Structures are given as C-alpha cells and as structure tokens.
Chains A and B, each alone.
Chain A
Amino acid sequence: MGKKKNSLTPTTFSLLHATDFADRLLYHIVPPLKAGMIVLADRYAYTAFARDVARGVDRAWVRDLYSFAVRPDLALYFRVPIDVSLDRLMARRVKLKFYEAGLDMGWSQNAQESFRIFQGKVLDEYDRLVDEFGLRVVDASLSITDQQQMVRNLVARQLEKPALEVVNQ
C-alpha cells in the first residue's frame, strides 16, 4: 500500500469522501431540507460505513466521523448478490474502476476477482447496517417495476407521517 506518491490509503480514501460529503451536505442537502423539500440522495453515509470498513478502517471511527450528517427519514438499501451485480456490470461492458473493484487492497490482480472479494466484504458490512440503522431492504434482483412499486409504497408511507422530521444526532 502507498507505493505511489498520490495513491490513497484506506484512511485518506475515507477522509476525502467525508470531505466531499460534508461539502454536499452543506450546499445541497441542508438548504433544501430547510426549505421543506425532499432530498433524494444516491448513496449516503452508509456507503462509507460499508466500503471504508471493508477496506479496514475502524467501524466506530468512521461512524463518529460522519456524526455531522443529518439522519435520513428513510434509507433504502437495494440488496443484490455479488454475481448479479457483476453480471449487470459486465453486460453493460463497464470497466471496473480501480477503487470500486478494491484493487488498491492488493487482494487480487484480477479486477473481477478483486471486485468479488471486496464487494463480498462490503455486502457483509451492509447487512450489519440494516439492523443498526434500520435500513429498508429492497430486493434488487426483482424486476425494475416490482422494485419501483416497493420503493413507492415505502416512500408513500413515509410521507403520510404527520411532519417531515429532521433528526440530527
């Protein structure tokens, strides 16, 4: 690790993403919340909890790092087996990115193999997060229509609640 002068370590990777998140939170998330709008976030702090811990940073440290984040009113987790996600990426001829495939960890020189090992650890962490933070699981191996129906039901139920409530803990 750290062979190249500019390569990221698990900790600098984690901190840079937290910096980016802090910036987005302050400019793009908090203002619309204050204006009473709905913010749709494609990935949130949970991504960091899963991905950074899979890279080896401390579980409690990364949670505390993100304690400045606003807790979402509803967090959806699209769960899919590794094989399915890999097949989908391959079908779209997506070239696996260096960090996305966990190639920085040196577990395998082969991008697909590395992706499989790394994402396996990431999925294990997500499973933990489901209980810890009450993520609502959507089965992402279902058809897009079925998934969307589930999502709409969950969102509709959330919006029926008396007031939009912001929890900042």
Chain B
Amino acid sequence: MTDQKPDNKEPAPEFGANGHIQPGRYYGHGLPYVAIEHYPGKIIAVEGTDGVGRSTQIRLLREWLEVQGYGVVETGWTRSALMQPTIELAKSSNTLNKLTFVLLYATDFADRLEKEIIPALKAGFVVLSDRYIFSALARAGVRGVDRAWLRSLYGFAIAPHLVFYLKIDVDTLIRRVLSARGMDFWESGMDLKGGDDIYDSFRSYQNKLLREYASMTDEFGFRVLDARRPIDVLQEDLRRQVQAFLASSDIAQGEDRALTETA
C-alpha cells in the first residue's frame, strides 16, 4: 500500500548496499524515538546455520572476553520474554504461514533490540548475538518472501560492528548434526513440503540456506570463517579478529570500565 509516497521522508539509506553500512547505526529508517549515536558498546554477531557450532564458539568467546575485563551481554534468536512462548506455540501448532512467522520473528528481534541490545550498547557492553537478523533474512528468502520487503522490515536493526559467518558445506553439516542430535522438522525445511524424506529435505533446504547466506556476504560485510576446523582453531581465529577490533576501538575494559560504570 505504498503507491503514494508519504511526504515527510528522504529515501531510506540504501539498506545493505555495501559501503553504505555504518556499524552501530540503523540499517534503514530505524527507531525514530531512540537516538543511538555515540553509544559506546559494540555488537558482535555470530551467524551460521543450525549445527554449525555457533553456541559453542559464543560460550568460549564470552568467557575469554570477560577474563579480559569486558562487560558482555548475550542475546539469541527467539529468546525475548515477549515472544518466546508465542513462537514456541506457533511452531507446535502449525497454524502460521511464512508471512506471520516472519513478523513474529521480527517482533522478537525488536523486543530484544530495545530491551537488551540498546541498553547494553548505551552502558558500554559487548553484545554477543547468537544469530542476528541474517538468519531471518535467509530463512524467509528461501521461503520466497520478498527480499526488498524483508530489508525494509528490518530497517530498525542496528548494523553490528562485526558479523562472523561460520561457513560449512552441507556434507560436513549433515554428519555433524546427525552425530549430535539428529535432524529437526524446521531445520530440515519440512514445512516447505518437498517430500517426506527428512534427509533429502534437510540436504536440499540447507543447500538453499547456505546459498542465501553466501549471497549476503558482500551485502552485509560478513567475515567468513571456515567452520569445518576444530573448535579451538576456530575459536583462536575468532578471538584474534575480535581482539584486533576491540583494541582499535574506544570501548572500556577492566578498571576503566569499572570507573565509567560508577561515574
């Protein structure tokens, strides 16, 4: 319903057009009622498909950051107090379609953004995000939701300072998921009704998903990490890059942080 343009706006910044993204700023129209400039905190997002090892890497990274004296806040997909029960219910009852799912996920993200991420940025924390908006963009993209609309929808999101994309091939992923916990209905894209065989569905769905992530690499400036490597090797790579970034930033750590918090 946008054929007549509202008259108050300059066009939104080119969401995702490489080179236009400014870390720590809104991607699009943003939240007009929350000015986020000059917030000292940083957002570090770790993205990648299910079973790639995100949570393990984030746990290790968090411990290490805290030992270094950084304040760390963790946030993850569908963890909002507001939406988690609703999303769980929706997943189990099968009454939602792709559009309502996309909107529920966006609501969950908005709630965490305003209640967890923004306050943490303001207070100078490192926000570790287990998935950010990119998993939502990838999943919805695979399901045929309009990509331009999705980017406008998430125009209220803040561009992370670092986005690590844990990259894996589908064969390695399948062996990892099967030896860990088995294939799950949603992670296998069974809602796409490509057939009854969960293995075939998983392979086909994850292949599409990985292509979708790959297509966003340049658009959003992902730092791609080879997730087939052993946990400790991958973690070392992650820490080195995070270290380099934080050292070059103005974020407070250790005693300095204690001072700014009491000030």
Sample (9) of A-B pairs whose CB atoms are under 8 Å apart = A6-B81, A9-B111, A15-B107, A56-B33, A58-B29, A58-B30, A58-B32, A59-B6, A69-B1
- What's the Cα separation between A22 and B106 when bound, in Å? 13
Distance to closest chain A CB from B99 (angstroms): 5
Please, how many angstroms separate the alpha-carbon atoms of A50 and B4 in the complex?
16
Flag if A60 contacts B12 (CB, 8 Å). Answer: yes
Chain A interfacial positions (CB closer than 8 Å to B): 1-2, 5-6, 8-12, 15-16, 18-19, 22-23, 26, 45, 56-61, 63-69, 71, 128, 132-133, 169
Q: A6-B82, A12-B114, A59-B8 are in contact. Are A71 and B103 (CB under 8 A)?
A: no
Q: Is the CB of A64 within 8 A of B2?
A: yes
The answer on a CB contact under 8 Å between A22 and B103 is yes
Distance of A16 Cα from B115 Cα, bound (Å): 16
Complex Cα gap A86–B33 (Å): 27
CB pair B28–A61 under 8 Å, yes or no, is yes
Cα A8 to Cα B82 in complex, Å, equals 8
Cα–Cα, bound, A58→B111 (Å): 17
Q: Are A16 and B107 closer than 8 Å at their CB atoms?
A: yes
Segment at the interface with A among B53-61, B151-159, B187-195, B252-260: B151-159
- When distances are taken between beta carbons in the complex, the residues of chain B under 8 Å from A15 are 103, 106-107, 110
Give the 7 A-B residue pairs with the shortest CB-CB distance, closest first. Answer: A58-B29, A56-B33, A19-B103, A15-B107, A61-B29, A64-B152, A11-B110
Q: How far is the CB of A124 from chain B (nearest CB, A)?
A: 12
B32 & A57 in contact (Cβ 8 Å cutoff) = yes
- Those of B168-191 within 8 Å (CB) of chain A: none
Q: Contacts A9-B114, A67-B149, A133-B1 given: A56-B32 contact, CB under 8 Å?
A: yes
Contact at A11–B82, with CB atoms within 8 Å? no
The tally of residues in B whose CB lies under 8 Å from a CB in A reads: 35
Whole-angstrom distance between the alpha carbons of A18 and B149 in the complex? 14
Question: Whose C-beta in chain B lies nearest to the C-beta of A8?
Answer: B82
Interface string of B93-129 (1 = CB under 8 A from A): 0001101100110110011001100000000000000
Is B9 an interface position by the 8 A CB rule?
A: yes
Give the complex CA separation of A106 and B209 in angstroms.
Answer: 43
Q: Does chain A have a CB within 8 A of B3? A: yes
Measured CB to CB, the closest approach of chain B to A135, in angstroms, equals 12
A60: which of B6, B81, B107 is its contact (CB, 8 Å)?
Answer: B6
Asked if B31 is at the interface of the complex by the 8 Å CB criterion, the answer is yes
Task: Report the bound CA distance from A71 to B3 in whole Å.
Answer: 10
List the B side residues contacting A69 at CB < 8 Å: 1
Nearest B-chain residue to A26, judged by Cβ? B97
Q: Taking the nearest CB of chain B, how far is it from the CB of A122, in angstroms? A: 16
The reply to whether A2 and B1 contact each other, CB–CB distance below 8 Å, is: no
**Other-chain residue from A10, A57, A61 in contact with B152 (beta carbon distance below 8 A):** A61
